[in-house]
Structure 1
Amino acid sequence: MDISQQQRRDFLLRSGFGIGSTALATLMDPSLNASAGSGGTANPGLPQFPNFAPKAKRIIYLFMAGGPSHIDTFDYKPAMRKFHGEELPDSVRQGQRLTGMTSGQKEFPCVAPMFEFQRFGEHGTWVNKDLLPHTAGVVDDITIIKSMHTEAVNHDPAITYINTGVQQQGKPALGAWLSYGLGSVNDNMPAYIVMISRGRGQLQALYDRLWGSGFLPARHQGVKLRSSGEPVLYLNNPPGIDRDSRRGMLDGLNSLNQMTYDKFGDPETQARIAQYEMAFRMQSEVPDLMAVEKETQHVQDMYGPDVQKPGSFARNCLLARRMVEKGVRYVQLFHRGWDQHGSLPSKIRQQCGDIDQASAGLIKDLKQRGMLDDTLVVWGGEFGRTIYSQGKLTKDNHGRDHHGRCFTIWMAGAGIKRGFEYGLTDDHSYNILGNTGVHIRDMNATILNQLGIDHQRLTYKFQGLDQRLTGVEEPAHVVKEILS
């Protein structure tokens, strides 16, 4: 090695230490980064985002894990009563591949909902009045999309698909993309928080990768709050360690980590520094944030009696509102238990009982605070259920299999039309009619649009491609028909 090469390497190494020191200083004093992105926060996002004036500042996504039956909730057709018990016609099924759970059945009898539906709101929207009376009361504030569709027919790939844009593991979740592109608003809280509640039906596994950062820097992954005990493990200082002592320990640890980064250049080391800093800042914010008892009784009552139960969907809904009010950009609530292959009439009643009042209460609470205008609320699962019965059809019992050809979600706030329905399905709620289909990629493109993001411009170079949440294979489009 000649002297010029040695000098060049020494120059690059010393330059790296200087850049690393600047990065560490920025973490310690976010005001040093005030020129970038949104207001000089520790996670400022990218300077080009938002691309245009956003309607939404924040998102609360109520994810019904397991696939709620659109037939028994919102996509009601009076004709279903007429063909109850009849075989699903081949002209409707159109040779669709069945899952392994019903492929061995010899008969596929259609099953009308075993509940009463009624028209609600100014536009006469059909809603199951037995299961969702509280949601029925806010139909004039939401848009119901009945023509969602997906290619995935099994839970894990379907949930992965709708959360990350692909069925395969390893890609960033929607919340991670938002943290990467838009950054954080509150330095003391993550941009992306996840909470999970447990229903009383069959539970499907939920893996941490569903709120992971994939190929994005690790600091953009979702932070999962626990339902009992400490919301975040090891967030509190151990006995005998005060805040000043913890600050000194972190300063020393961050310096060592920064030296490691300067030497090897591994971006995960920077992510580790950022996560230590975030944990330190969260110590001052989380305890007060979790204290829902500070809410007035009137507000707590809107969410229902379960709001008093730690880990319940109702309590998580109220916590979500408190979090977005504090500047958390994206909160996702997973409620498990919607996989009703059997005993659907009783199980779906329990599931809807868990979520109905709290979902409606969230809309009412945001609206009375003036926050619904710039908060986007999304409700839905990974797919729907079949019109035909899984297993033997009896007078008051049956199940429904997975169905991705059409299913229902609803959205509210932040520039979404109010009191509106979009999408047409046939009388069997089995196929989409006309040109009204909304693919899950289209839904994600619409969500990004409301946040002021052109989904084609939010990219990250990985494996030779400009990766996007909405995929690189087929084009997605914003569903302009549901925008006000």
Structure 2
Amino acid sequence: MNLTRRQLLSQCSAGFGSLALGSLLADEGSAANSSFATHFPARAKRIIFLFMKGGPSQIDTFDYKPQLQKDDQKPLPFDKPRVQFAPTGDLLASPWKFRRYGESGIAVSELFPHVAKCVDDLCIINSMHGSNPAHGGACLKIHTGTDTFVRPSMGAWVSYGLGTENENLPGFITICPTLAHGGTKNWSSAFLPASHSGTPLGNASQSSEQARVKYMHNAQMSRKSQRMQLDMTQTLNQSFLDSSGPDAELEARIASFELAFRMQTEMPAALDLAAETKSMHSLYGIDDPITADFGRQCLMARRFAERGVRFVQVTHSNTDVQWDQHGNLRKGHQQNALEVDKPISGLLQDLKSRGLLDDTLVLWGGEFGRTPTCQGTGHDGRDHNPEGFTMWMAGGGVRGGIQYGATDQYGYYAVENKVHVHDLHATLLHLMGLDHERLTFRYAGRDFRLTDVAGHVVDGILS
């Protein structure tokens, strides 16, 4: 009989609460990595999600459309979507040139010259599509699988299913996350145990130099005193569990208290970028003021990945520009790409040189793409487009040097080997050794999962 983790715990005589706290918390990480936690052999051990907030334009980055270049300023020769975020006009050719790179010969925009050199490691999905043309709903969809309800984020599901390989760090960390368009809901554990919620380091309105876990240091109390205080609290909690029986929420709280205490030792070391060499800082662009901010985030992601954090999210959300160019497309996308291109390339090269790319899945993309039709004045803007957009993966069990699926000749609609957001989530879980239909959690009288009642694994991108 197959049991979810929650069912297993609830059917034990006293759940986690019957175990000594020390044993519980010391073994939690290894228990999460048992054969019970994975449904089949995993191809990836961890995920790094490079989230480009605002929606980068697929037709200006990784989805080259020669016909769009030819038909600049002509009317779109087919119907636009029934539901649009805002009106748009005629076709707008990409302002940037594309070149073919690597043995694969994939065309990449001149916006990404550094990432282009890694193209043979990329699995570029050109046929993504979603259901919501607004930032809030689309951000929730890409993070949680739904745009209408509060649900656990994909990082929380991964942490719930697999736990962490490092018992002194969270299973899910989000670096400089945006507080807009869903905010904390994008990294929330919702009804999953609280210990699987994303731990935020700073936020998008701060420099990554300030990206720290809040309240990490207690200036008023020594570590010994904190331990004594925590032991007293945990003794009371344990006494309650012994008398009341299993209580998933309290047990999760016990685990989170202990983790917070242990993090005081481990987290500062993980965040100490001064321990890296000068050449490593240069690889990530930390020595350049344009790339330094995102470069630090990417280097932190690698340091967390090698320490066993299952899911690390890095958000690029320039508060002045983002990737949301309804106007000033040329200036905005140029600035954004300059800030992230070298750091992303540095991350891919670094992971590969350390042998980490083999079992680390890197995911890049935004909440949707942009229209091939023009918006705004000066023929220099694009509207939101969830009908067809691009995301790419690298490492962790996917085929490198391929483009999967396609949009139409102008890049508006996904038309070939379409990949829905639910399919993306199903595939991510599959690569981590988890069956998206079996990774469930019972709440409010029904079983929930990341993909709800949809989603198919995209077999065509698996290595």
Asked if Structure 1 and Structure 2 have the same fold, meaning a TM-score greater than 0.5 normalized by the shorter chain, the answer is: yes
Q: Which amino acid aligns with 1:257?
A: N
Deviations 1:165-210 (A, max 9, x none): 1112321111111111111110100000001268xxxx95451111
Aligned to 1:10: none
Report SS of the residue matched to 2:59. coil
Matches within 5 A, 1:273-352: 273-305=254-286, 312-336=293-317, 337-352=322-337
Pick aligned residue for 1:97 from 54, 67, 83: 83
Instruction: Give the conservation status (yes or no) of the 8 Å contact 2:177–2:200.
Output: no
Report SS of the residue matched to 2:133. coil
Aligned to 1:480: 459
Deviation at 1:282, TM superposition (A): 0.6
State which structure, 1 or 2, has the greater radius of gyration over its C-alpha atoms. 1
Residues 1:453 and 2:434 are matched in the alignment: yes
TM-score, normalization: structure 1?
0.86
Report SS of the residue matched to 1:373. coil
When residues 361 and 206 of structure 1 are mapped into structure 2, their CA distance, relative to the original with a 3 A threshold, is farther
Instruction: Give the conservation status (yes or no) of the 8 Å contact 2:327–2:377.
Output: no
Residues 1:136 and 2:116 are matched in the alignment: yes
Deviation at 1:123, TM superposition (A): 2.1
Report SS of the residue matched to 1:62. strand
Deviation at 1:479, TM superposition (A): 0.8
Question: For residues 170 and 46 of structure 1, what CA distance do their matches in structure 2 show?
Answer: 29
Structure 1: runs of 5 or more not aligned = 1-14
Aligned to 2:355: 370
Deviation at 1:297, TM superposition (A): 1.8
Deviation at 1:233, TM superposition (A): 1.6
Question: For residues 247 and 145 of structure 1, what CA distance do their matches in structure 2 show?
Answer: 49
Q: Which moved more, 1:222-231 or 1:115-124?
A: 222-231
When residues 307 and 61 of structure 1 are mapped into structure 2, their CA distance, relative to the original with a 3 A threshold, is farther
Aligned to 1:65: 53
Aligned to 1:408: 390
Aligned to 1:390: 375
Matches within 5 A, 1:98-117: 98-99=84-85, 101-102=86-87, 108-117=89-98
Matches within 5 A, 1:196-215: 196=176, 204-215=180-191
Residues 1:245 and 2:233 are matched in the alignment: no
Q: Which amino acid aligns with 2:384?
A: H
Question: For residues 338 and 180 of structure 2, what CA distance do their matches in structure 1 show?
Answer: 19
Report SS of the residue matched to 2:339. helix
Instruction: Give the conservation status (yes or no) of the 8 Å contact 2:175–2:211.
Output: no
Deviation at 1:400, TM superposition (A): 0.7
When residues 389 and 204 of structure 1 are mapped into structure 2, their CA distance, relative to the original with a 3 A threshold, is farther
Residues 1:39 and 2:19 are matched in the alignment: no
Q: Which amino acid aligns with 1:66?
A: G
When residues 71 and 309 of structure 1 are mapped into structure 2, their CA distance, relative to the original with a 3 A threshold, is closer
Question: For residues 329 and 19 of structure 1, what CA distance do their matches in structure 2 show?
Answer: 22
Deviations 1:306-348 (A, max 9, x none): 6789982210100000001011111011211111111111001
Give the superposed CA RMSD: 2.3
Question: For residues 392 and 178 of structure 1, what CA distance do their matches in structure 2 show?
Answer: 44
Question: For residues 369 and 458 of structure 2, what CA distance do their matches in structure 1 show?
Answer: 20
Deviation at 1:289, TM superposition (A): 0.8
Instruction: Give the conservation status (yes or no) of the 8 Å contact 1:228–1:310.
Output: no
When residues 21 and 178 of structure 1 are mapped into structure 2, their CA distance, relative to the original with a 3 A threshold, is same
Question: For residues 228 and 357 of structure 1, what CA distance do their matches in structure 2 show?
Answer: 18
Q: Which moved more, 1:358-367 or 1:305-314?
A: 305-314
Question: For residues 230 and 423 of structure 1, what CA distance do their matches in structure 2 show?
Answer: 37
Instruction: Give the conservation status (yes or no) of the 8 Å contact 2:389–2:414.
Output: no
Deviation at 1:262, TM superposition (A): 5.2
Question: For residues 116 and 361 of structure 2, what CA distance do their matches in structure 1 show?
Answer: 19
Residues 1:426 and 2:405 are matched in the alignment: no
Q: Which amino acid aligns with 2:68?
A: M
Q: Which amino acid aligns with 1:460?
A: F
Residues 1:162 and 2:142 are matched in the alignment: yes
Question: For residues 361 and 418 of structure 1, what CA distance do their matches in structure 2 show?
Answer: 17
Report SS of the residue matched to 2:335. helix
Deviation at 1:393, TM superposition (A): 3.7
Aligned to 1:399: 381
Report SS of the residue matched to 1:313. helix
Aligned to 1:417: 399
